[in-house]
Amino acid sequence: MEDQENSVKSRRRFLQKFGSLGLGAIAVSSALTESCSSNPKAPGSGKKITLLNSKNELVEVDSAYISTLNKDLSPNHNSESRNGLPGKKFVLVVDLGKCKNARKCMDKCQAVHQLRPDQHHLNVLLMKDSEHTAPYYMPKHCQHCDNPPCVKVCPVDATFKRTDGIVLIDNERCIGCRFCIAACPYSARSFNWYEPKDAEKYKGVAYDIEKNVPQKKGTVTKCTFSADCLRDGKLPYCVSACPNGVYYFGNVYEDAVTNGTLGETVSLNNLLAQNSAYRLLEDLGTAPSIYYLPPKDRTLIPEIEDTQS
Amino acid sequence: MVKITLLISIILLTCTQNAKSQVKPWPVSAEDAGKINPIPVELKNLGIGRNIFTRTCVACHGAKADGKGLIPSASLIDETFQKQSDGSIFFKINTGRDKMPPFKGMLKEDEIWSVVNYLRILVNRSALPPAKDVNLEISTGEEIKSITAYVHSADSAKLPFPEVDVHFYIKRDFGLMRIGELSNYTGADGKVKVVFPEKIIGDKEGNVTVLAKVEDNFLYNNSEMAVERKWGEQMVTEDEKFNQRALWGSRDKSPVWLLLLANGIIVGIWGVIFYVIYNLFRIKKTGKIFIKE
């Protein structure tokens, strides 16, 4: 009797684990052997479904007794996220003239990617190029280079470049050597020196490689171009959070970029040509995917004294 | 009892004062407040006002102008806002305060006045005639790639509507790209034609989705129609570039010189070691022969 009870208990534990792995149906099927008799009022639908139970036996269960467990399932795109979305090559255009340091993009990014205030996938910097030039604010993301120095130095193949231009990092492969941080000329990556923010809240959440969430202590984290949003056909978090219309995001192959604030879509080539766009540290040959439009016609010229960044 | 009432009244008083102090008063001089709006409330001007509003105000004040945009801000449909004079609203848009930027340099005076008119219409729709339902049909010309929109009444009579502004778009990944002019008014026959621009990239086969819309119109309700045509250039992807052997490639795509070099070093070093071991065996063997002899 005791033995039987023990076995039931261990089976339950086993099932709990499996339930969270998305094999909820199995849990239901084996629980049925007990619950069917104790729940006589539920009528069967007559439709039988064959399921595999925890003892590796095939059993038939009436479909009326099956309920889905609403558990956090691991995102099914993790395996395919190394390939990139077909027919796309993403590009971001930052109009420096419109940035007023509202920092909504940063706030949104840090909230979504479980980042501490000192960790940045995206940072708005106060720039002053030389003594007599006017200062301006510059949002700086990972540049998602087409010739990425960070990917070259990764010894474990944790960080990689996809065909749609996005450079991602797999925190489950990352060993925390920080070679990529040293290699990146844009200082775009940050390291989880401490337990990540809200570590308790994210306990048990399945890892999403396109979001870098949950963050792992001792690994590197970086801007993902909001690859999870792009998979759903939505604009990245920072792009749609900007109240000033700074960001244009789109597909290079399609020659179109959409402003996240105004929702207006324009030709990428025209936008770049008419505004004399440039990329950061062009001469390094990294071929970034982010273009900057010069800080012209600003409504706000920042005072250099109130350095926030 | 008296004490309690006193206490409550004090609390109430401080509360109301707090509530008032949350919204800082924004003084406008009598001269500015008394300015007369020179722009008449006409459809054309309202259209200008609306376009400026959607481009510059919606981000913070929200699409409904209720102050619930990306930055929390004042509600523009609220009674306290609307009871101000046109001149006060003009002054505030013109000069700005805190997070509200001054629009002095960005907009012309007439444009700001048009925005003021549009804000008035937001709460007072009845000042305009009720909007009519319309139906939109598109036909396409093949010889010269062009799209013709035909706007007519929604009932069976199909009366053509002239002077309706139709917007034309091409569907892109993250939004709709405008083609044609900013305003394309229908003629007396209810039709308006737009030429499909060059150098538009479609999908791999060159298919492009073209849309025509009657939208944000004060006199007509929204209506739209889409067609797909093989008018665009074929999309050229550069996936091969990513499948090349490069230093940043994944393990199976490492450059040949790197493979040769790294494996050459490994083979070279192990080769020397094996050669030494082999020679040691040979020495031992020859030693044995000597002992035997």
Q: CB A151 to CB B236 under 8 A?
A: no
How many whole angstroms separate alpha carbon B120 and alpha carbon B139?
38
A265 close to B (CB below 8 A): yes
| Closest approach of B248 to chain A, Cα-based (Å) | 4
**Taking the domains of chain B in order of start, what are their residue ranges?**
25-127, 134-229
Q: What is residue B126's DSSP assignment?
A: G
Residue A21 has pLDDT above 60, yes or no: no
Q: CB B70 to CB A147 under 8 A?
A: no
Query: Range with the lowest mean pLDDT among A6-15, A106-115, A189-198, B152-161?
Result: A6-15
Looking at residue B92, what is its pLDDT?
92
Q: Which amino acid is at B221?
A: N
Q: Which residues of A214-224 are buried (b: 16+ CB within 10 A; e: fewer)?
A: bbbeebbbbbb
The shortest CB-CB distance from A253 to any of B237, B247, B250 is to B237
Q: Which residues in chain A touch residue B238, judged by CB atoms under 8 angstroms apart? A: 89, 253
Q: What is the C-alpha radius of gyration for chain B, rounded to an integer number of angstroms?
A: 37
ipTM strictly over 0.85?
A: no
How many whole angstroms separate alpha carbon B212 and alpha carbon B148?
9
Q: What is the largest CA-CA distance in chain B?
A: 130
How many whole angstroms separate alpha carbon B259 and alpha carbon B11?
79
Element (H, E) at A139: strand A136-140
B178 close to A (CB below 8 A): yes
More confident residue, B293 or B104: B104
Q: Which residues of A197-206 are buried (b: 16+ CB within 10 A; e: fewer)?
A: beeeeeeeeb
Tens digit of each residue's pLDDT (9 = 90 or more) over B45-78 = 888 898 899 888 888 898 888 888 888 888 999 8
User: Phi and psi (nearest 5°) for B171?
Assistant: -75, 130
| A&B contacts, CB < 8 Å | 96
How many whole angstroms separate alpha carbon A141 and alpha carbon A237?
12
Residue A61 has pLDDT above 50, yes or no: yes
Q: CB A100 to CB B105 under 8 A?
A: no
| Closest approach of B33 to chain A, Cα-based (Å) | 25
Q: Do A119 and A285 contact (CB within 8 A), yes or no? A: no
How many whole angstroms separate alpha carbon B275 and alpha carbon A71?
60
Tens digit of each residue's pLDDT (9 = 90 or more) over B127-174 = 788 888 888 888 888 788 899 999 998 888 888 988 888 999 999 999
Tens digit of each residue's pLDDT (9 = 90 or more) over A165-175 = 999 999 999 99
Q: CB A243 to CB B177 under 8 A?
A: no
A34 close to B (CB below 8 A): no
Name the β-bridge partners of B165.
B185
Q: C-alpha distances in angstroms, A136 versus A94, A96, A100, A149, A297?
A: 13, 7, 8, 28, 11
Strands A265-267 and A256-259: antiparallel
For chain B, helix (H) and strand (E) counts, in that order, are 9, 7
CATH architecture of structural domain B25-127: Orthogonal Bundle (1.10)
pTM assigned to the model: 0.77
Looking at residue A40, what is its pLDDT?
46
B159 Cβ contact list (under 8 Å, min separation 6): B152, B153, B190
Count CB-CB contacts under 10 A for residue B291.
6
Long-range contacts of A272-277 (CB under 8 A, 24+ apart): A272/A93, A275/A95, A277/A93
How many whole angstroms separate alpha carbon A192 and alpha carbon A190?
7
Q: CB B71 to CB A88 under 8 A?
A: no
DSSP per position, B230-264: S-SBPP---HHHHHS--TTS-GGG--HHHHHHHHH
**Taking the domains of chain A in order of start, what are their residue ranges?**
2-65, 80-293
Confidence of residue A35 (pLDDT cuts 50, 70, 90): very low
A286 close to B (CB below 8 A): no
pLDDT more than 70, % of chain A: 78
Mutate to test the interface with B, among A168, A238, A249, A254 (most CBs of B within 10 A): A254
CATH superfamily of B134-229: Immunoglobulins (2.60.40.10)
Confidence of residue A124 (pLDDT cuts 50, 70, 90): very high
Q: CB A243 to CB B204 under 8 A?
A: no
Q: Give me the CATH topology for the region A80-293.
A: Alpha-Beta Plaits (3.30.70)
User: Average model confidence (pLDDT) for chain A?
Assistant: 83
A183 close to B (CB below 8 A): no
| Closest approach of A253 to chain B, Cα-based (Å) | 6
Element (H, E) at B149: strand B146-153
DSSP per position, B39-87: S---HHHHHHHHHHIIIIIHHHH-TTSSSBSSSB---SSSHHHHTS-HH
Strands A290-293 and A90-95: parallel
Task: Check for a shared fold between B25-127 and B134-229.
Answer: no
Q: Do A220 and A229 contact (CB within 8 A), yes or no? A: no
